Each structure stands twice: as C-alpha cells, then as structure tokens.
Structure 1
Amino acid sequence: MVAVPEAVRIRAVSQGQGAWLTGLDDQLRRLCANWGLTPGQVLDGGTASLVLGVTCADGAPAVLKLVIPGIDFHDQLRLLELADGRGYVRVLGVDQETNGYLLESLGGSLADADLPPQEQIRAVCDLLRVAWEVPATSYLDQSWNNAEELARLITKLWNRHNRPCPERVVDQALGYAARRAAMPRGEWVVVHGDPHPGNVLRSPDAREGSVGGYVFVDPTGFLADPAYDVGILMRDWSDQLLASDDPRGWQQHHCALAAGYSGLDCDTIAEWAYIERVSSGLFVLDVGDPDHGRRFLQTAELLIA
C-alpha cells in the first residue's frame, strides 16, 4: 500500500474524499501499467495531491501526481499546458479519469536552498515575470473576482471556527479585500496563485523556460492583479516576523524589496499579503493544521496598521 502523507490524508477526509484514499493503490497500479512506469518514493507535495517519484520505461526519472478530486486539477493542468514549460514544470502525460498527470523530474525547492529571505523574494519575483507571460486571453471567460472570494472565505471560516483571532484582524483583511476588489481589471494577468518558495523547484539542466535554474509547480491559474502573486509570496515568513523586534518594519522592508524586484506597488503587495495571511490561517485551521493556522493569525495580529 502506498504511504499517503498525513497532510494529504487529512485534507482528503476533510473534503469527503475517503473513497479516493482507499482506491489510490488500484489507480497507481493502472497508471504505472498504462505508462510503463516503475514507482519510487512518495515525495513531499503539499496537501492537495499524492506525489510519487517514478522511472519511465526509457529509464528517465519523472513525477506522477494524483490530485484529490475537486481540487483545481483542470485549472492547474490548463495553465501548465498553456505555459508549455516556460516558467512552469513540463507536463509529460495526463489521465483525466484519475486526476493524474506525469511531470518532468525536478530538483530541490527554493525554500530548501538556505538563502536569506531577500534572495528568495528576488528569485520568485524574477520567475513570476516570466510566468505572467501566459496569454490572458485564454481566461476571458472568468467572471469572478478573487478579492471578493477571499472576503467571503474569511468571513465564513472565522465564524465556523468560533472567531479564532481578534475581530480587528478580520476587519483589516476585509477592508483591504474591498479595496482590492474595486480595482480595475485592465492590468490583470494569469497568476500562479500560490508562488511561495516551496513551489519553486530547481530544473536540473537549467533548461530553456527556467529562470535562474528554477520553475514553478502546483499553480492554481486564474486572472488577477499580478500584485496578488507577490502578496502571497509575502504572506509567509512567520518565523522571521515572530522573532523580530519590529515585525511591521520587517514586513514593510521586505514588501518594498518585492516591489522593486517585481516593478509593482509596495502598498498593494502589502495589502494582498495581509489578506492572504488571514485567509490562509483560517483555511489551514479548517483543513486540520491548527498550529500552522494560528501562526498565520498570530502574525496577522502583529501587523495590524
């Protein structure tokens, strides 16, 4: 039996996908037989999918990914196929029936590269400028606004979990979300949707389409303000904020660096980062990781203007 990571198991169960978990062994056997794959080790792949190293029939390494039903499989695949390896991991094969696809094998993540925050921020922003080149015309059917969606999510989850952070934290996030929702769509791009350093992996051959030897994995893919992606990048760094004598100053300084690297507005990045810090904290609580969720919310309280 495949050893499903605990975070993946918790998320699958929380979303009513217990049957997916029990059927994983059969799905993997079928995919490996169809594609001539030899299975290897389970890899760290976040919470939304089972990720497995495999060897192809020609001896080349690859990665097999099975996404929990209902979690952005088609949106992710759409973006990866449109990017065709430019700024993103390459797709080698797709199985729509199992929400499975075969990806090129990549190296370690930027998060594990032992670089200071400013260097990680620079690397992600450099990569984002290439990733944003995916044609926005492919997404003109999108009618929803992600700032409005995040505001609804924050309100729902804050009440569902008995208001796990002060009301002023939520009020600030909702105020920022209202301002972001009112901005015109003229400069929107196809965003990655979760470009933190853990979703930036090294391309072993520094191939064409990589930036500084890195590409993105695990995109969501939708139209939004490009500063949203940079805000997600600045949503993290909880350890640094908790250790700082001046967390607001730390965040402001690094948002200014991100603005310089990306060419976008610092205040807009900071507002998106705050919205994402609160929404992510509540979401992580909701999927069963309370310690991680509370750290997001604790740092959000430290950053109240």
Structure 2
Amino acid sequence: MIQIPETFARRTIDREADEGRAWLACLPHLVDEILERWSCRPTGPVRHGQVGVIIPVQSVQGTDRASAVLKVSFPHPGNVHEPDALDVWGGRGAVRLHKRDDSCFALLLERAGDGTLADLDDIDEAMAMAGGLSRRLAVQAPPGLPRLGDRTAEWEDDLRKDAERLPRSLPPRVIQAAIATVRELGRDHPDTLVHGDLHLGNVLRAEREPWLAIDPKGYVGDPSYDAITLVRSRWDALSGALDLKAALLRRLTIFADAAELDRERVRRWTQARAVMEAYWGRDHGDPAWLVQASDHIAESLT
C-alpha cells in the first residue's frame, strides 16, 4: 500500500477540506485496486503534483507499458479532459496515454525523464522549445471539449466586477485593455486543441522525443492563451531585468515565432490573462510573488 506524501496530503486538505480528507483516506486502497486491475507493480517512491499522485510502475505482463507511471488525481474539474487531450495527441509532443479510468481520475502514462524545460540555463532556448511544442500540439480539437470562446461573456463580466471590487489593485487603463482584448478577440478562437497549462515545468525531457508535454487541461481555442504560463515561468530571471517590458516582449516574441502565432495576439492575450490571474490570485491566496508577477506583466504589456 502506498505512502501518501505529507506535503501532498496537507495541501489537499487545505484546498479541498473534508472532501479532500475523505479522498485521501480512500486513496491507498484505490491505488492498490487499480494496480491489480491494470497488472502493474510500483517500482519507485510516490511523487505528486498539485492535485494528484504519480507512481512509477512496471507491467507484470511485459507489454509495451513495461515502464510507465500511474497518475491518480483528486476529482477536480480541471482534470476532466486531460485524457481526452492526450488521446488526441497520441504521443505527438506529449506523453502517451496507455489506459484511463475516468471514474477514478486514473491514468496509466508513458514514463518520461526527470528534467524539465525549467531546468535549462538558456531561457531563450526554453521558450523556443516550448513554442515549437505548442505548434505541434495545435491540432484539430475533438468535439466535447470546453471552448475558450464560450467564456468570453463570463471573463468580461468578471473583469468589470473585479475592477469595481478591487479598484486600487491595477490602473484603469490596464483593466480596459484586458476587457478590449476579451471583447475583440474572445469569440475569434480557432477549433484548435490547446494545452491550457503549458508552463516550463510541464514539459519533461524524454528519450522518444527530446521533450514531452504533461498535464494538459484540454481546451479548444487560440494557443496564444498558453503564453502567460510560459512567460511567468522562471520569474526570478525576469524580475531583476533593467527593462522588464523589453524582457517580456523578448520571451513572447521567441515563443510566438516558434509557435507560428501572431505576435500581437500573443501579447494581448498575455496581458488580458495576466489581469485575470492577478485578480484570481488575490481572491484565492496565491503567493505574493505570483500576484506581483501578474501585476507587472499586466502593466508592462498594456
């Protein structure tokens, strides 16, 4: 039976309260049941992300899944379409999906390496690699996935309400620029599969391909939506720049060109999402550095 990491258990209870506590109590038995059903045995210690545990496993049947990982996540809405996206990609730029049990939020996945794009010393290289990967992941989306364009009215309404509720958090011109982007570009989304959380830490070094994406949200829309999570990665390297705007635009330009996206759309979506992230972070207790990063990005790109 697995040992649940203490840090993961504490964060889950802090975030999900009694529901999280109840899920954690059942998790070791759930993992054992899935391991037996999928004919796997653990081969290493349990690791974890924000909402799930990851267990390195080996197939006892000696199949092509001889080296894999079992991922079991808390039943969170943000994870519902992860297997759908991975299934569509079929290993193209992302880890392969071997098995899924949607009722348990359980996935048997290809095992990649330990290093990530965030480990690269050259941030320009990391942004270029992420952009190239984004281009490869930008395929026709299947039906049934959540469409970013359907959230336009909600986003605009939230931005206006947040500006009234927190009037001194960001300058009015910054808010208005974000609202304009949502209104003007929000419904103009292509039918493209979007990762939804493509930060540098969600791209793993691998052998089958140099880099493979993990943990997609599975949206339909403009891949420019993903730029905010990339540009905010390795914030420590940006925060000390003498010219923050120039440094931000350099990162975005490298990403946009590698992803074959329009530079101005990337800039506008990054600015708008930074405003939304700044407000969301204030409401949900994000670390101070993360809220400040969103503030600086929103103002610098206005």
What is the TM-score with the length of structure 1 in the denominator?
Answer: 0.82
C-alpha displacement of 1:139: 4.9
Deviations 1:178-234 (A, max 9, x none): 23214x34x441111111111111223x2xxx3xx1111111112111222344423
SS in 1 for 2:113: coil
Residue of structure 1 in register with 2:141 after alignment: 136
C-alpha displacement of 1:103: 0.7
CA RMSD after TM alignment: 3.1
Change (3 A) 1:48 1:138: same
Aligned partners of 2:32, 2:289: CA distance in 1, in Å? 34
Residues 49-128 of structure 1: matches in 2 within 5 Å?
49-58=52-61, 60-128=66-134
SS in 2 for 1:38: strand
Identity of aligned residues (%): 24
Change (3 A) 1:153 1:10: farther
Change (3 A) 1:237 1:278: farther
Residue of structure 2 aligned with 1:240, choices 233, 237, 240: 237
Most deviating of 140-149 and 24-33? 140-149
Residue of structure 2 in register with 1:303 after alignment: 300
Change (3 A) 1:22 1:299: farther
Aligned partners of 2:249, 2:299: CA distance in 1, in Å? 13
What is the TM-score with the length of structure 2 in the denominator?
Answer: 0.82
The alignment status of 1:41 with 2:45, answered yes or no, reads: yes
C-alpha displacement of 1:105: 0.7
The alignment status of 1:173 with 2:178, answered yes or no, reads: yes
SS in 1 for 2:16: helix
Given that 1:241 and 1:247 are in contact with CA atoms closer than 8 Å, whether structure 2 keeps it comes out as: yes
Change (3 A) 1:102 1:150: farther
SS in 1 for 2:85: helix
Change (3 A) 1:275 1:179: same
Most deviating of 53-62 and 77-86? 53-62
Residues 156-195 of structure 1: matches in 2 within 5 Å?
165-168=169-172, 169-182=174-187, 184-185=188-189, 187-195=190-198
Most deviating of 261-270 and 55-64? 55-64
The alignment status of 1:278 with 2:275, answered yes or no, reads: yes
Given that 1:76 and 1:221 are in contact with CA atoms closer than 8 Å, whether structure 2 keeps it comes out as: yes
SS in 1 for 2:56: strand
Change (3 A) 1:131 1:222: same
Change (3 A) 1:257 1:73: closer
C-alpha displacement of 1:288: 4.2
Residue of structure 1 aligned with 2:218, choices 205, 217, 221: 221
Given that 2:141 and 2:220 are in contact with CA atoms closer than 8 Å, whether structure 1 keeps it comes out as: yes
SS in 1 for 2:81: helix
Aligned partners of 1:141, 1:69: CA distance in 2, in Å? 17
Q: How many residues align?
A: 294
Deviations 1:222-267 (A, max 9, x none): 2111222344423444323320111111112222222222222111
Change (3 A) 1:202 1:252: same
Q: What is the identity, as a one-letter code, of the residue corresponding to 1:215?
A: L
Most deviating of 230-239 and 260-269? 230-239
Given that 1:235 and 1:274 are in contact with CA atoms closer than 8 Å, whether structure 2 keeps it comes out as: no
Given that 2:133 and 2:259 are in contact with CA atoms closer than 8 Å, whether structure 1 keeps it comes out as: no
Q: What is the identity, as a one-letter code, of the residue corresponding to 1:293?
A: L
The alignment status of 1:21 with 2:32, answered yes or no, reads: no
Deviations 1:12-41 (A, max 9, x none): 426953322222122122222222333332
Change (3 A) 1:216 1:119: same
